[in-house]
């Protein structure tokens, strides 16, 4: 199956600092990637849709100035949590959309656990 | 609009007994349906998907799911549970007409397998 990686797998940072998370599709090109957030004991929440070469589309209630998304190439999207606070601590998961013929499938990264102290 | 309801937040079975994880959906159009599994501290893994072909879909690790349009259900089953099946399972719906192929996730069902 297709492989999507995330880096780092976990990060601890101080309140007020910024953290960048990378999402890479390793064996296919992805025009579209998605960023999700998972709260403890909760389901995934879509934060934004990342489109290569254009601005990301954010879901309602997600602050675009706080969660900066850059999709500079067909294999890399980054999420930067700016001025992180403890309430930003969460599990962040990206996915990449693989398009082939008439079928499209999302492949998920392993996730990044962020802890803000 | 589309939505997914996983009827049980927790399911506990004994090893070797059948597994049934329930999922009901609503969608304005013909949906694609998926089951994903998430093991602790791991990313999501696709178990199986339904995309308007055969209504009985076979996935990895012995899991299968049946799409029942009349019941708007897509329940996940496995004849015999294994200890390694203990994980969180997500039922997911995607409306193919939905721009960007966004997925709508159910709340998840935590499967526990007792020895």
Distance from the A62 Cα atom to the nearest Cα atom in chain B, whole angstroms: 16
Structural domains counted in chain B: 1
Contact status of A107 with chain B (Cβ, < 8 Å) = yes
CA distance A5 to A28: 12
Disruptive mutation site among B3, B38, B43 for chain A (greatest number of A CBs within 10 Å): B43
Residue numbers of the domain that contains B91: 3-114
Chain A contacts of B36, Cβ < 8 Å? 108
Q: Give the per-residue pLDDT at B99.
A: 45
pLDDT exceeds cutoff 60 at B104: yes
Could you tell me which residue, B102 or A31, shows the higher pLDDT? A31
pLDDT at residue B2 in the model: 75
How far is residue B91's CA from residue B103's CA, in Å, rounded to a whole number?
10
- Give the mean model confidence (pLDDT) for residues A59-86: 93
Residue labelled with tokens 């939505």: B3
Q: Is the pLDDT of residue B103 over 80?
A: no
Does position A111 have pLDDT exceeding 60, yes or no? Answer: yes
pLDDT at residue B57 above 90? Answer: yes
3-state SS of A4-71 is EEEECCEEEECCCCCEEEEEEECCCCCCEEEEEEECCCCCEEEEEEEECCCCCEECCCCCCCCEEEEE
A35 pLDDT above the threshold of 90: yes
Q: What tens digit of pLDDT does each residue of B33-50 get?
A: 899 998 876 678 889 988
The closest of B91, B92, B83 to B112, measured between CA atoms, is B83
In the structure, what pLDDT confidence band is assigned to residue B100 with cuts at 50, 70 and 90? Answer: very low
A62 touches chain B (CB under 8 A): no
Burial class (CB in 10 A: 0-12, 13-18, 19+), B62: middle
Give the distance, in angstroms, between the CA of residue B107 and the centroid of all CA atoms in the same chain.
Answer: 11
Query: For chain B, which residues lie within 8 Å of any Cβ of chain A, measuring from their own Cβ?
Result: 36, 41-46, 49, 51, 90, 100-103, 105-108
Q: Do B90 and A43 touch (CB under 8 A)?
A: yes
Contacting residues of B for A113, CB less than 8 Å apart = 41
The mean pLDDT of B56-66, rounded to a whole number, is 94
Question: Distance between terminal CA atoms of chain A?
Answer: 37
- CATH number of the domain that residue B105 is part of: 2.60.40.10
């Amino acid at each position: 199956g297709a492989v999507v990686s995330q880096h780092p797998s976990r990060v601890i940072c101080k309140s007020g600092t910024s953290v960048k998370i990378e999402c890479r599709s390793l064996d296919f090109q992805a025009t579209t990637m998605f960023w999700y957030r998972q709260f403890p004991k909760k389901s995934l929440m879509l934060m934004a849709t990342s489109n290569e070469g254009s601005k990301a589309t954010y879901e309602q209630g997600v602050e675009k100035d706080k969660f900066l998304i850059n999709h500079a190439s067909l294999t890399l999207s980054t999420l930067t949590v700016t001025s992180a606070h403890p309430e930003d601590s969460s599990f962040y998961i990206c996915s990449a959309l693989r398009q082939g013929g008439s079928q499209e499938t999302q492949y998920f990264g392993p996730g990044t656990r962020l802890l803000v102290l | 609009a589309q939505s997914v309801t996983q009827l049980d937040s927790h399911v506990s079975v004994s090893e070797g007994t059948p597994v049934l994880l329930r999922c009901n959906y609503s969608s304005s159009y013909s949906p694609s349906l998926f089951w994903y599994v998430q093991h602790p501290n791991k990313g999501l893994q696709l178990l199986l998907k339904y995309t308007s072909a055969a209504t009985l879909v076979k996935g990895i690790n012995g899991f299968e799911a049946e799409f029942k349009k009349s019941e708007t259900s897509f329940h996940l089953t496995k004849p015999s549970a294994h200890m390694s099946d203990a994980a969180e399972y997500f039922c997911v719906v995607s409306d193919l007409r939905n721009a960007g192929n966004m997925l709508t996730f159910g709340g998840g069902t935590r499967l526990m397998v007792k020895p």
